[in-house]
Structure formats: C-alpha cells, structure tokens
Amino acid sequence: MSDTETDELSIRTRNLSLWYGNFQALYDVSVDIKPNIITSLIGPSGCGKTTLLRCFNRINERYGNVTTKGEVQILGENIYTEAVALAELRKSVGMVFQRPNPLPISIEKNILFGVRSHSRRSDLPASRREELIESALTEVSLWNELKDNLKRKATTLTLEQQQKLCIARLLPLKPDIILMDEPCSALDADGIERIEELISDLKDRYTIVIVTHNMAQARRASDECIYMYLGEIKEHAPTMELFMNPKNEQTAMYIEGRYG
Amino acid sequence: MATKKTSLRGLGAKFLDGAEPLIRALIYASGWSSIVFVAAIFFFIFREAWPILPRVNWGEFFFTNDWVPVPAEGNKASYGAMSMMYGTISVTIVSMVIAVPLGLGAAVYISEFATGKVKESFKVLIELLAAIPSIVWGFIGLVVLNPIIQDVFGVAVGVNLLNGSIVVAFMAVPMIVSISEDALRAVPDTYREAALALGASKWQIVYKVLFPAAKNGLLAACMLGVGRAVGETMAVLMATGNGMVIPENFANPAILLDKVRTLTATIVSELPDSVHGGDHYRMLFVIGIVLLVFSVVINVTSDIIVKGVKGDQKNA
Ligand SMILES: Nc1ncnc2c1ncn2[C@@H]1O[C@H](COP(=O)(O)OP(=O)(O)O)[C@@H](O)[C@H]1O
Ligand SMILES: [Mg+2]
C-alpha cells in the first residue's frame, strides 16, 4: 500500500491487541477504514466489537487494567503515543453510546458541552452559540421539535430524541469520524428507522463506524462490513459482497445462523 | 444439593411468615420511636424552661451581652446571650468555610482520582477520623493547635474562634466526605463517559457534570456538617477559650483570634453549678430552646434548598 493511500484512510490499525488484566480481548487486529462511508462491525456478543471501537478514541483506558499493543492511526497519525492530546483526539473522533446518555443538563448545554470544553468563553458569544445549537439540531432533524424547549432537561426527552441529541452534540466539534456502538438497541422500530436515515444522511460529511448486532441493519445501512470473532477480524469486505458471498466459513455461518 | 437448597428456602420462608407480624411491629416501633424521642426532647426542654418563659426579657436575651446569672450581692441577674449566639454562629461559619472545601475536595479525590490501595487507605483514614470522640478533638485543640496558633500569630492564648473552628471542621469533614462521596458515586458512569468522549478533562467532568448531577447529595452533606458544627459541645468548650466577647468590627480578621463561647458550651459549663429549678437553671434551658430552633431552621432550610434544586432540575 502506498503512502498516499494510507493518508486517505480514516482509521488504520496494525497488530492491535488489547488485554483487560490478563484477559486478551483483541488479537492482532489490522484494519483499514475508509473515509466518508459507513463501516459496520458485526459478530457475536462478546467478540470485541465495543472494545475495538473504544480503541479509536482511547476511551478504553479509563478502566485502569487495560493494556494496548500495536498501532492505531487516525487520519494518518498514530494515536497511541505519549504526545497525543486526548482532548483533541476525542474532538475529531466522536462517539455515540449504546444507551443514549445525554448529560442531566439542558438540551442547549448538552450541545455546547463539547465546544465549551475546548474553547474559551470569549470565543463563544451568544450569537455563535445560537448558531451552533440551531445547526446541530437541524442536522439531526430535531430543530423544529425542540427549538422552543432548548432549556428543557435533556434526560426528559424520548429515547429517540435523546439518541439524536447525542449525535447532535458531537457536530459542533466538527468531528471527522463518528463511532456508534449499537446506537439503535434501546429504540423501537420507528426510532431505529429514523436513526438509520439520519446516519446515512451524515455519511457524506463524516466517516461512520457502527457496531450492530442486527444483521439486517448492517446490510441496509452500511457500505463496508467487518466480521469479528473472539477478538479477531475474520472478514472485511463491501457489505453486499460479505453478505452475498462470504469468504470466511465462520462469517457465512454467522450471517446464516442469524439471518436465515 | 438442589433439594436441600429448596427445603432450606422453604424453612426460611415459613419462619418469616410466622415472624412477620413481629418484625412488622419492630419496624413500626423503631420508626415511631424516633418521633417519640424527638417529641420527648422538646417536651423536657420546654418543661424545664416553661416557668421562666413569661418573665424572660427577650430584648436583653437576644441583643445584649451581659450574661451575669449569679450577680454580686444586691444586684439583679442579667441574661444577655448575644455573645453566645455570635459564638455559635461564628464557629459554624468559620468551620464550614474550612470543612466544606476540604470535605468536597477529599470526596472528589477519593471518588474520581484515587485508585486501588490509595483509595482504600483514604477511606479507612476518613472512617478513623469519624470515630475520634469529641473530647479527643478538644484535647487536640488544647495541646496541638493551641501552641501552633500562639507561634504562628504571636498571640498569648491559642484557644479561640480559629482553634475551635478548625477542631469542629475536622469533626465535620469525615461526615461531609462520606456523604459527598456516596453522592458522587451515585452519578451514573455513563455521564462520565459521555463527557470524556466529548473531550472534557477530568476537572471539567467534576465541575460541569458531577457537581450538578450530585447537587442534592452534596448540599445535604454540607448541611449535615453545619448541624454538626452547631451542636458540637465538648470540643468547642475546650478549644474556643470559652470567653464571652463580641467583636466591634466584624470585618477585621483578627476576630479569629478572639475567644468565643457557644450556646452549647454555656449549657454544659454552667448547668452543673446552677441551682436546680432556679432562674439560672431555667435560662440555660431557654438556650436549649434556641439551639433547637437553630437546628430546626437548618433542617428546614436544607430541605427547601434540596427540594428547590430538585425542582430546578426538572425544569432546566
Ligand atoms: N471493562 C472490562 N473488563 C474486563 N473485561 C471486559 C471489559 N469490557 C469487555 N470485557 C470483555 O472483553 C470481551 C469483549 O467485550 P466487548 O468488546 O464488550 O464485546 P462486544 O461489544 O462484541 O459484545 C468480552 O469477553 C468481555 O467480557
Ligand atoms: Mg458491545
């Protein structure tokens, strides 16, 4: 692979292994994730999808017992070095969690939380703040619903609105990559459909990596698909190819077992 | 094995069935007893103070400073308690100024920053602090802080408002720490993760996420600390110098080095010498009523604050 190609990748890992204490959860993961597409991460429960995703913004490290070996490059830069500023990394790599987790403060404060952590007060005059709030909420199509209730506590919203808000609050930070860990698992069918629509709207502007246990969702909503099993990547291919014509026997068994 | 377990569970259930009325009665009794005790406290204090209440000169009591319960021959006794109220209020304020930041800081450190052995040792240390009896703190004030304050500030006597407040602060800190730590620990971890993933630093998480989310518990912790400071007796008696003075200029920091005497200290030091049923004796119970009113006011305010905060959170 030539250097220019490497630079164009959003995420590139080489021989990434991870241990929780003595338990090894990732084995030599080497994967290339392309920009501005949706990549889905599938595999049986406990295979390390969440763990891998949480390596990309180094949030795994908050548990004291985690050891990581190997390399992760985000936009061409190795993030597992001393020199990396975690705040900057997390600004460009946003994360959406399995359970919607808006902070127990108002809607507008949730949206501004990220930028406020990264800038001085004087850089955010009221006009700028309003602009950010409106554009973030518009981008997740919540603006019309919520524009009159911006002071409402975010935890009182419906789960679907909460999850959209959790996406919206990443946007003022202008992330390059958005990581999503089973973002629909707490939602009902309608909610799932609308969040999926939203995700596919976002892919022009952001690189999206989404973990899902829902085969149909991976198939509908992603461009490329990665199948993981017991901490290893077994197959990585364009989604249609992986589902129609899996190269790996285990991939085939998994998608048939779940889907057939 | 499995059958054994089932039969055991059956036995336990049967035992509980039979004992349920008894257990229920015990629980009711313990619930009601707290009400009964509080009522009894009110009753006995009021009963002792009652005969003198119509004759108390309230203006003198609240707004003058001459507490002369046993006057010289031919003079009238006077009961001006303003300096003691000043004593109690000043010890409360100064000790909280010390204890609240210290206690909150320690709670944040223990719950958010310390890990493993350090965390465990700190928790044990805080529990040990909480177990030190009041009288020992009084000794610490007399024997340890007294000479330090004398040296540092170049004063002749080191038992004063500052000394007493430091002692009370140290007594209040363990309670503030443990209740605040519970409150912080109760904040769902998902909030920390959300904020961390948005690039917030640990400190930003503490003051922008944890403090607002744990507001109720933290306030409760501080109010309990205040209650402790108001009610503390033996340690303040020993460490404050037990002198009835009211400063002329409250803005002068040197008042920290003045002796003070609290309401509680007055009761405990004078009650043994007062004539049972006499005016002096009854006036000490009037002071008791004032203390009761103080603590009711503190409790009600803290309730209102906590409820107000809850209301805010609903609307915010
Ligand atoms: N904080 C943790 N401490 C210890 N083991 C963990 C932790 N998180 C995950 N694991 C283990 O690592 C493995 C992978 O977990 P995870 O990444 O959550 O899988 P998935 O998201 O694919 O269901 C599982 O065996 C899980 O038990
Ligand atoms: Mg998972």
Interface test with A, best of B196, B198, B210, B215 (most A CBs within 10 A): B198
Examine residue B18 and state whether it is found in any structural domain, yes or no: yes
Q: Which of residues 203-232 of A touch B (CB under 8 A)?
A: none
A47 lines ligand 1 (CB under 6 A): yes
Ligand 1 pocket mutation, candidates A19, A22, A47, A63, criterion most atoms within 8 A of CB: A47
Examine residue B71 and state whether it is found in any structural domain, yes or no: no
**What pTM was estimated for this model as a whole?**
0.84
Nearest to A90 among B188, B197, B208 (CB): B197
Reported as a single tens digit per residue, the pLDDT across B174-215 is 999 999 999 999 999 999 999 999 999 999 999 999 999 999
Strands A77-78 and A66-74: antiparallel
* CB contact (8 A) between residue B314 and residue A86: no
Question: Are residues B43 and B102 both part of a single domain?
Answer: no
pLDDT of residue A127 exceeding 70: yes
Examine residue B208 and state whether it is found in any structural domain, yes or no: yes
Q: Which residue has the higher pLDDT, B52 or B116?
A: B52
Examine residue B73 and state whether it is found in any structural domain, yes or no: no
Question: Are residues B38 and B178 both part of a single domain?
Answer: no
Residue ranges making up the domain that contains B42: 8-55
Question: What ipTM was reported for this prediction?
Answer: 0.91
The alpha-carbon gap from A241 to the nearest alpha carbon of chain B, in Å, equals 33
* CB contact (8 A) between residue A62 and residue B196: yes
Reported as a single tens digit per residue, the pLDDT across B219-258 is 989 988 888 888 888 889 899 988 888 888 888 888 999 9
Reading across the β-sheet that carries A38-42, which strands appear in turn? A93-96, A177-181, A207-211, A38-42, A224-229, A232-238
Nearest to B197 among A59, A106, A156 (CB): A59
CB-count burial class (<10 Å; 0-12, 13-18, 19+) for B163 = buried
Reported as a single tens digit per residue, the pLDDT across B31-53 is 899 899 989 999 999 999 999 99
Q: Residues A135, A115: contact at Cβ < 8 Å?
A: no
pLDDT of residue B305 exceeding 80: no
Question: Are residues B118 and B218 both part of a single domain?
Answer: yes
Examine residue B65 and state whether it is found in any structural domain, yes or no: no
Examine residue B240 and state whether it is found in any structural domain, yes or no: yes
Examine residue B113 and state whether it is found in any structural domain, yes or no: yes
pLDDT at B3: 45
Q: Does the CB of A155 have a partner CB in chain B at under 8 Å? A: no
Nearest residue by C-alpha to atom 6 in ligand 1: A20
Reported as a single tens digit per residue, the pLDDT across B73-97 is 888 899 999 999 999 999 999 999 9
* CB contact (8 A) between residue B200 and residue A117: yes
CATH code, B249? 1.10.3720.10
pLDDT at A225: 96
> What's CA A11's distance to the chain center, in Å?
12
Q: Does the CB of A150 have a partner CB in chain B at under 8 Å? A: no
Question: Are residues B113 and B258 both part of a single domain?
Answer: yes
Count up the domains in chain B and report the number: 2
A25 lines ligand 1 (CB under 6 A): yes
DSSP output for B255-275: GGGS-B--HHHHHHHHGGGSP
* CB contact (8 A) between residue A117 and residue B204: yes
Examine residue B72 and state whether it is found in any structural domain, yes or no: no
